[in-house]
């Protein structure tokens, strides 16, 4: 299906992104509320880009940040259930990387231990598991930190 990736610039489309999140794992397990989902999308420290179909439907989105102690962090990515497996997720990931890598040397993300499909997905896109955090979001679940790098932050030789 035809569409474009474009910066989020309307409250209506932001609401659609929050709706995609709360209808999907892993956020169902985390019992993420609509307001919690929306607050990440609307946080001025973050940038959200949407996959918008030619009929105006928001089929997916990616939220990144270039700020904080791990700049180049993909905070959220989701494609709505009925639009998965046709490559939109990969296009959103590539768009995020093209936005991040000219500005900093790493792309970071976190993925839950109970989301093996997404872990394999990121491994296939060239991400490496670099750590894990136990009981970070909720008790009994681990978050894996993953990284794709273009090299060290500073060349000293």
Ligand X SMILES: CC(C)(COP(=O)(O)OP(=O)(O)OC[C@H]1O[C@@H](n2cnc3c(N)ncnc32)[C@H](O)[C@@H]1OP(=O)(O)O)[C@@H](O)C(=O)NCCC(=O)NCCS
Q: Does 88 bind ligand X (CB under 6 A)?
A: yes
Q: Which DSSP symbol is given to 29? A: T
Q: Does 3 bind ligand X (CB under 6 A)?
A: no
Residues present in the chain in total:
157
Q: Does 32 bind ligand X (CB under 6 A)?
A: no
Q: Does 78 bind ligand X (CB under 6 A)?
A: yes
Q: How many residues bind ligand X (CB under 6 A)?
A: 18
Q: Does 58 bind ligand X (CB under 6 A)?
A: no
Please state, in angstroms and as integers, the Cα–Cα distance from residue 125 to each residue in 1, 6, 22, 52, following that order.
Answer: 22, 22, 25, 22
Phi, psi of 155 (to 5 degrees): -90, 125
Among the residue ranges 31-39, 41-49, 82-90, 149-157, the one whose residues contact ligand X (CB under 6 A): 82-90
Torsion of CA 31, 88, 153, 157, to 10 degrees: 150
Q: Does 77 bind ligand X (CB under 6 A)?
A: yes
Residues in CB range of 81: below 8 A, 6 or more apart: 23, 24
Measured from the CB atom, the residue of 13 and 156 that comes closer to ligand X is 13
Site residues, ligand X (CB under 6 A): 24-26, 77-79, 84-90, 111, 115, 117-118, 121
């Amino acid at each position: 299906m035809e569409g474009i990736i474009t910066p989020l610039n309307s409250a209506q489309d932001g609401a659609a992104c929050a709706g995609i999140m709360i209808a999907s794992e892993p956020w169902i397990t985390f019992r993420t509320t609509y307001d919690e989902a929306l607050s990440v999308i609307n946080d001025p420290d973050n940038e959200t880009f949407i996959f918008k179909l030619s009929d105006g439907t928001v089929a997916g989105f990616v939220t990144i940040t270039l700020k904080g102690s791990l700049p180049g962090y993909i905070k959220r990515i989701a494609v709505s259930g009925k639009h998965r497996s046709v490559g939109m997720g990969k296009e959103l990931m590539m768009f995020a990387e093209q936005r991040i890598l000219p500005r900093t040397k790493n792309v970071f993300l976190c993925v839950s231990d109970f989301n093996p499909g997404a872990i394999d997905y990121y491994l296939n896109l060239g991400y490496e598991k670099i750590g894990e955090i136990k009981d970070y979001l909720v008790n009994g679940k681990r978050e894996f930190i993953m990284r794709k790098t273009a090299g060290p932050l500073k060349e000293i030789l």
